[in-house]
Structure 1
Amino acid sequence: MAGATRSLGCRRLLGTHLKNLLHTKHCVLFDCDGVIWNGDKAVAGAPEVVSLLKKRGKSVFFVTNNCTRSRDSYLSKFSRLGFCDVVQSDVVSSAYCSAIYLRDMAKVQGKVYVIGSDGVYTELYEAGVPVVGREPDVPGATIYDCPLDSDVKAVLVGYDDKLNFLKLAKACCYLRDPNCLFLATDGDPWHPRPRGRVSPGSGSLAAALETAAERKATVIGKPSRFMFQCIVSRFGVDPARTLMVGDRLETDVLFGRSCGVDTVLALTGVSTLQQALGYRDSTDPQGAACVPDYVVDTVADFLPALDEER
């Protein structure tokens, strides 16, 4: 089906078409922020959609670049917002996948210096990956006299609202070693905040360090394929029978397209229909990779098709 529709893109999913599409899919991937919730409020109908998909025997995963929470913390939020049947293995975050990459793919033999928040540290601890970076700095310490750990073999950058110059400087020193691995949890440039405000994302923090270290980070989160590979390797998911639902064209849709799955843009988050149509009508080949196959106003649009399904 993907090959038959991608030449057009941005098709509205309604009625029988939506029901038929869901019938062909055994797995649905959801982004979280802007798709199933906004801040601390669930998108109307989203808990019911997730529950009905699971009752219909579909595999459901939540693929999020938000690295600030551990999977257990996500479970608490799901429960609080009315998602009653989500389990830990459903949650695939950039923090969790970064830990898996360091442990199982890179097989780092040493410590990881972390710029990040609780979610990253927790997932690394649970994966058995030794870390440094959380220790309080000595008051008045500078890059000229602060201690550096000689056993650091990787630097991981995630969202850190306590970022300071000394953290960046330490990371830059570690990355002077060409054998020191350089990872970013995700490349999100910014995040929407209440009242129309925004905050820098992990991608902007990683970009600062990339400039200072004169190196490029390996990005673990969307649109990198690694998060999908984690799901495939553990659950045997078939890309042809998978649907990706997201709100950000340059991450969620690009991620889905690069993984060979059909994509749906939900208009409850960052990207707009006008932006999607702009990519569709552009001659830029890079923009073409950000064109969603389908568009819905909200994931609640799935409800009629799921209610009718037998």
Structure 2
Amino acid sequence: MAGAFGFKGCQKIHGPQIRNLLQAKDFFLFDCDGVIWHGEKAITGATTVVNSLIRRGKNVVFVTNNSTRPRENYMHKFYRLGFTDVMLEQIFSSSYCSALYLRDVVKVCGQVFVIGCDGLRTELQEAGIPCVEEEEDQPDATIFTCPLAADVKAVLVGHDDKLTFLKLAKASCYLKDPECLFLATDNDPWHPLSSGRILPGSGSLIAALEVASGRKATVIGKPSRFMFECISSQFRGVDPAQCLMVGDRLETDMLFGSNCGLDTMLTLTGVSQMEEAQEYRNSDVSTNHSLVPDYVVDTIADFIPAFEELEEQSN
């Protein structure tokens, strides 16, 4: 991918270049954490950028690997933080896309064993996907004594802050059946916390289960193409050449954009920084080049002067 203006990767763009990009693109895909908010605080200028794009008639969607909350909860968060023009159909989380995959692609006929939070289960239930009931295991329960559900046709792994060894053991037993699907909402290895500590991500849980089962999970979320296929199925006329993927993580957001044929923009308000992008750009390993962004900005608030220029031109 060469970028819409002929240069590739790790070059910061400013005023007129951002203005031209805004005019050239019809679809803007945003990651959430680290791009438009940190926790319960919107990144400065993010609400102005998102609301301005929507009011200008641009198609704006949000693609997040966070599977811990249903889309309805995301709607409340957007509104709470000032993103008042965002609608439910613009939100594509890995939990929502996992539900669509199970319902519409593989058309699962049976129960799904879920390792994940309540938000993931909610999305599956709203899509009519039957989940194995999560009963309270006895304190002394082991894989030798606990019951296993019948008719489990898929194991789905997402972020689970109540993970137990018994859950992993049950999932491993279900996956002994080669007909049982092994799916993952995402493979993010870790997430940064405001304290400077990190939180293990879904990828760490998947790795444990892949070793135990001897199988590889099918990943639904970024950087898999399926999330873009979900968007294309619900928005008419989505042309990859008219899309810009804006994210903060090279190995997830930039690779997702590259896999889907989208131009990519890295913001420096989240996980990845310029030095890492430059290392990938200069790498002798060709596959690393897919992780290099087409454009770099300090923050999506850098869009605001471009909007002001467009306003002046129209007056």
Interval of TM-score (by shorter of Structure 1 and Structure 2): over 0.9
- Post-superposition CA distance 1:168-211 (Å, at most 9, x none): 00000000000000000001000001211001000110110000
What amino acid does structure 2 have at the position aligned with 1:200?
Answer: P
- Post-superposition CA distance 1:222-254 (Å, at most 9, x none): 000000000011102111000000000000000
Q: CA deviation at 1:3?
A: 5.4
Cα gap change, 1:70 to 1:265, in 2 (>3 Å)? same
Q: CA deviation at 1:138?
A: 2.8
Q: CA deviation at 1:7?
A: 6.1
Note if contact 1:114-1:133 (Cα within 8 Å) is conserved in structure 2: no
Residue of structure 1 in register with 2:90 after alignment: 90
- Post-superposition CA distance 1:46-98 (Å, at most 9, x none): 01100000111100001000000100000111111111111110100000000
Distance (Å, rounded) in 2 between the aligned partners of 1:150 and 1:135: 14
Q: CA deviation at 1:10?
A: 1.5
Distance (Å, rounded) in 2 between the aligned partners of 1:90 and 1:121: 20
Matches within 5 A, 1:206-285: 206-236=206-236, 237-285=238-286
What amino acid does structure 1 have at the position aligned with 2:136?
Answer: P
Secondary structure, in 3 states, of the residue corresponding to 1:29? strand
Distance (Å, rounded) in 2 between the aligned partners of 1:15 and 1:200: 38
Note if contact 1:9-1:294 (Cα within 8 Å) is conserved in structure 2: yes
Distance (Å, rounded) in 1 between the aligned partners of 2:184 and 2:28: 25
Distance (Å, rounded) in 2 between the aligned partners of 1:62 and 1:202: 19
Verify: 1:126 aligned to 2:143, yes or no.
no
Could you tell me the TM-score, scaled by structure 2's length? 0.96
Q: CA deviation at 1:39?
A: 1.1
Q: CA deviation at 1:8?
A: 2.8
Distance (Å, rounded) in 2 between the aligned partners of 1:116 and 1:179: 21
Unaligned runs of 5+ in 1: none
Q: CA deviation at 1:131?
A: 0.2
Distance (Å, rounded) in 2 between the aligned partners of 1:7 and 1:153: 47
Secondary structure, in 3 states, of the residue corresponding to 2:95? helix
Matches within 5 A, 1:157-196: 157-196=157-196
Q: How many residues align?
A: 310
Cα gap change, 1:152 to 1:29, in 2 (>3 Å)? same
Note if contact 1:2-1:261 (Cα within 8 Å) is conserved in structure 2: no
Residue of structure 1 in register with 2:292 after alignment: 291
Residue of structure 1 in register with 2:65 after alignment: 65
> Which piece of structure 1 moves more, 8-17 or 155-164?
8-17
Verify: 1:156 aligned to 2:165, yes or no.
no
- C-alpha RMSD of the superposition: 1.2
Distance (Å, rounded) in 1 between the aligned partners of 2:21 and 2:194: 34
